[in-house]
Amino acid sequence: MAAGNLHLPVVDLASTNLRASAESIRKACVESGFFYVSNHGIDDGLLERVFAESKKFFELPLEEKMALQRNSGHRGYTPPYAEKLDASSKFEGDLKESFYIGATGNGNLQNDANQWPSEEQFPAWKDTMKLYLATALVTCKRILSLISLSLDLDAEFFQNIGAFNCPSDVLRLLHYPGEVNECDNGNYGASAHSDYGMLTLLATDGTPGLQICREKDRHPQLWEDVPHIDGALIVNIGDLLERWTNCVFRSTLHRVVAVGKERYSAAFFLDPNPDLVVQCLESCCCEAYPPRFAPIRSGDYLKERLSATYK
């Protein structure tokens, strides 16, 4: 079942009323796990360059893209059908293709697991993507400060517990096909899933297709469209933040449906230091509402989820 457009709050990151912004985020995280941010600090020109470089790469012949196929560090190109986000799907895999880019180990190229297109063919690719990674990280830290305040914690809570000490921040460029083969009727660009980590910052080209399901246990499920808002980015929380908050905040099912038109997006995932133990916050549990999840290392949880996603 599909409903109409969903009305999510737009949080102005330039607002000086931090308490009001935090309250707006808390309401969104409790009700849907999704919201928008405006005045986010990512320049329109940079976003345009990211999408231009992304489109140029995905237009390459498949054999050229496969030369940069995703490695053991989950960096590089992932072709269509190689990823299955919904294990119950009857299809081989999802329709989308993607490209993973991660932080470069504090600038140390020896620790860089990324696969970069040739500078001769893509002279602006590396600088563009590295700038976007750095800028999106700053934006996500601002959002997490507001999330901390919304949980009645110090604004620097996640910084203080070491979440940002060598965090796992990844940019994922995504391309969804326009025309779909008859054998793929009913398949999804991205099948139903929740994000695995802490926080996701999503930029799109304006093409529709993103839907969320706020009540995953409802049958039949009700899916709502998340419309594009010019100048705003979409934010959603992931499973690790849900675990931290003992399900007070919701990591919500979402998917991308085929709309008969090509769609490009850029998802920035901010996950904490892999060695950080994620466990229920004291403010989110009590004797009557005990922790629902056992403590777990962030890196172990993410590894487990990723291994289930790929064939």
Average pLDDT per consecutive 10 residues, the chain (311 residues; last block may be shorter): 74 97 97 97 97 98 97 94 92 96 65 90 97 97 97 96 92 95 92 95 97 85 93 97 96 95 97 96 92 96 86 55
In a domain, 214, yes or no: yes
Close Cβ partners of 200 (under 8 Å, ≥ 6 residues apart): 235, 236, 237, 238, 267, 268, 269, 270
Q: What is the pLDDT of residue 50?
A: 98
CA distance 199 to 196: 9
Q: What is the pLDDT of residue 307?
A: 84
Q: Is the dihedral of CA 36, 147, 298, 301 positive or negative?
A: negative
Q: Which two tokens stand for residue 35?
A: 């919201």
SS3 36: strand
CATH (domain of 56): 2.60.120.330
Q: How far is CA 183 from the centre of its chain?
A: 28
Angle between helices 125-150 and 18-31 (to 10 degrees): 90
In a domain, 3, yes or no: no
The whole domain housing 257 covers: 10-309
CA distance 143 to 158: 11
pTM of the model: 0.94
Nearest to 129 by CA among 40, 53, 205: 53
In a domain, 121, yes or no: yes
Domain count, the chain: 1
In a domain, 2, yes or no: no
What kind and span of H or E run contains 165?
none
In a domain, 120, yes or no: yes
Q: What is the pLDDT of residue 5?
A: 64
Write the DSSP string, 226-273: ----TT-EEEEE-HHHHHHTTTSS---EEEE---SS-EEEEEEEEE--
Close Cβ partners of 300 (under 8 Å, ≥ 6 residues apart): none
Q: What is the pLDDT of residue 309?
A: 78
In a domain, 1, yes or no: no
Question: For 2, left (φ over 0), alpha (ψ -120 to 50), or beta?
Answer: beta
SS3 176: strand
Q: What is the pLDDT of residue 65?
A: 98
Q: What's the CA dihedral at 100, 105, 109, 113 to 10 degrees?
A: -30
In a domain, 5, yes or no: no
Burial (CB count within 10 angstroms: exposed 0-12, middle 13-18, buried 19+), residue 271: buried
Strand intervals (E) in 40-114? 76-78, 97-102
SS3 22: helix
Alpha helices in the chain, H assignment, sequence order = 18-31, 44-58, 62-66, 125-150, 157-160, 239-244, 298-309
Q: What is the pLDDT of residue 311?
A: 55
